[in-house]
Amino acid sequence: MEVKLNEVIKRIPLFKEPWKKTLEKLGQSPYAPAWNSYCGDQITDEYKAFVDEFEKNLYLKRFPFNTELPDQFIGYLLALKPRSLWFYEALENKNWIKEFHTVKTMDRGDLQKELKKLIPFDEKLDDLIINPTSGTTGQPVKVPNHPKAIGCYDPLILFALHQHGIYWRTQSPDTAAIQICNQQNTITYFTAHSFYNGSGFAKINLNNRQWQRESDRDKYLAEADPYILSGDPYSFYSYLNQGIHFHPKTLLSTSISLSKIEITKLMEEFQAPVINIYSLNETGPIGYSCPLEPDTFHILPHDIFVEILDDNNRSVEPGKIGNIHITGGRNPYLPLLRYKTGDQGWMDYSSCDCGDKMPKLHLYNARKMVIFKNLKGQWINPVDVPRILKDYPIIKFHMTQDSNLDCELSIKTQYPLGNAASEILYKKLTSLFDDKINLTILEKEEIESNQPFESEIDFTFLAELAY
């Protein structure tokens, strides 16, 4: 794709002329990879004011909570009740304020089926956007979002850095962050964020085919010199394995939970602090790793209430494992009422020496790194699977690989796929594995597992590091 700067600029409403240099450096460097998309923050003056206000409250309104609905959420729910049919019905019970635990919960299936009830009547749909998921759930759902809600990711990331003693706020544009991934195919772009005074951001794919020369990756990163390197542990593993030497000031890890040992190892390898973020497309960031107990997450935004419930939607005792549910948030198209994330964990409501008043969440058995292998013994990133599946009417899926490297994909579809479509799907999937893999595709009425992928192959990526 031939890159046109003005295509990027028109997606940054508050763009200023001096930011052009950042864009040129990131986008038109001789070492730059191939770009395939345009993207901007879409932040207008009005949305900037919203994000600024959010940031102010993020620091000022931190509060301890336990299993009871905190008072500040009552106003939020009362305001939504006359605006959303879902809230109106769910909050019909006379005693919901005192007995919040009786209020019905919602899950990913409701987002698929009941979006029309949930989106407030009076919310204009003009600014609706959809940020693609990387497929960490087996139940793909189009999540309507708003630029101002996505804009809040920036102050949330800054806050997490701040809690780790990292103060970064630039007055003159440079490179804020580069997000790395390693997969067959994904969106790549470069842009600038108004919130960071025009600092640049690029999303790159470490996959060989995106670069003119292998050595370009290291040169590009060194030249761009991003303050933050974001990605998931698999992309960090690929980064190190490809012999890239550039060290960012901060490593921002997302998508899965990491053990203390894994975090320490990453910090050693990158010689930078590692901050882990627990985040879902539907909710936005939920937690950031506590600097003192890095395998736990402090609740990150001040505008969400986190509950741990059992399978019958009853509160579990503090410290007991259960399903993680979220109320609140700032996405105008997706107000959340006891939304079931599909992950499990437990809460620690005791005060923390790091000083953050928000309680801590421990993820349990959730979001472990799953990696497949082809017959040559090369790692295959499962995130390429949902990218292929999204062209099919699939409600839920689950893919496994056993120790013989045989794969099985279970799918629940809106209607039967038919032979021709099944065959194409089969070919696309096996080509991910260099065509030589035993794959069975099963169409099922119901899929039990909430994890999208399972593998009998241990991915001990830290043990595998080439260093």
- Residues of this chain that interact with another protein (CB under 8 A) are 11, 38-43, 71, 74-75, 78, 81-82, 85, 88, 91-92, 94, 96-97, 115-117, 119, 121, 125, 128-134, 136, 142, 144-145, 147, 150-151, 153-154, 157, 176-177, 179, 181, 187, 189, 191, 193, 201, 228, 230, 252, 254-255, 277, 279-281
CB of 244 to another protein, least distance (A): 19
User: Which of Zn ion, another protein, none is residue 354 near (CB under 5 to 8 Å by kind)?
Assistant: Zn ion
User: Which of Zn ion, another protein, none is residue 138 near (CB under 5 to 8 Å by kind)?
Assistant: none
**Residues 148, 128 contacting (CB under 8 angstroms):** no
CB of 463 to another protein, least distance (A): 26
Residue 177 phi/psi, 5-degree rounding, is: -155, 155
Piece in contact with Zn ion (CB under 5 A), picked from 217-225, 269-277, 339-347, 351-359: 351-359
**Residues 406, 456 contacting (CB under 8 angstroms):** no
User: Which of another protein, Zn ion, none is residue 3 near (CB under 5 to 8 Å by kind)?
Assistant: none
| Amino acid present at 224 | A
Please, what sign has the CA dihedral across residues 178, 196, 144, 117?
positive
**Residues 361, 307 contacting (CB under 8 angstroms):** no
**Residues 407, 370 contacting (CB under 8 angstroms):** no
CB of 409 to Zn ion, least distance (A): 40
**Residues 366, 345 contacting (CB under 8 angstroms):** yes
For the purposes of burial, counting CB atoms within 10 Å of the CB of 465, is it exposed (0-12), middle (13-18) or buried (19 or more)?
Answer: middle
Strands 372-373 and 379-380, sheet pairing: antiparallel
240: contact with Zn ion by CB under 5 A: no
Contacts of 444 (CB under 8 A, 6+ apart): 410, 411, 412
For the purposes of burial, counting CB atoms within 10 Å of the CB of 48, is it exposed (0-12), middle (13-18) or buried (19 or more)?
Answer: middle
Residue 228 or 371: the one with the smaller Cβ distance to another protein is: 228
Beta strands in 224-329 (DSSP E): 228-231, 250-254, 274-280, 284-289, 297-299, 304-309, 322-328
352: contact with Zn ion by CB under 5 A: yes
User: Which of Zn ion, another protein, none is residue 151 near (CB under 5 to 8 Å by kind)?
Assistant: another protein
Tokens representing 456 are 């009998």
Report the alpha-carbon distance of residue 426 to residue 7 in Å, rounded: 37
| Amino acid present at 292 | L
354: contact with Zn ion by CB under 5 A: yes
Piece in contact with Zn ion (CB under 5 A), picked from 4-12, 121-129, 135-143, 282-290: 282-290
Residue 82 or 319: the one with the smaller Cβ distance to another protein is: 82
347: contact with Zn ion by CB under 5 A: no
160: contact with Zn ion by CB under 5 A: no
**Residues 348, 359 contacting (CB under 8 angstroms):** yes
Residue 248 or 359: the one with the smaller Cβ distance to Zn ion is: 359
User: Which of another protein, Zn ion, none is residue 255 near (CB under 5 to 8 Å by kind)?
Assistant: another protein
CB of 119 to another protein, least distance (A): 6
Piece in contact with Zn ion (CB under 5 A), picked from 6-14, 78-86, 91-99, 285-293: 285-293
User: Which of Zn ion, another protein, none is residue 219 near (CB under 5 to 8 Å by kind)?
Assistant: none
User: Which of another protein, Zn ion, none is residue 290 near (CB under 5 to 8 Å by kind)?
Assistant: Zn ion
Closest among 315, 434, 320, 450 to 379, alpha carbons compared: 434
Binding residues for Zn ion, rule CB under 5 A, total 3
User: Which of another protein, Zn ion, none is residue 189 near (CB under 5 to 8 Å by kind)?
Assistant: another protein
Residue 145 or 296: the one with the smaller Cβ distance to another protein is: 145
How many CB atoms neighbour CB 400 within 10 A? 18
Residue 103 or 306: the one with the smaller Cβ distance to Zn ion is: 306
**Residues 367, 255 contacting (CB under 8 angstroms):** yes
Q: For Zn ion, which residue of 51, 206, 280, 290 counts as binding (CB under 5 A)?
A: 290
Question: Where do contacts with Zn ion occur on this chain (CB under 5 A)?
Answer: 290, 352, 354
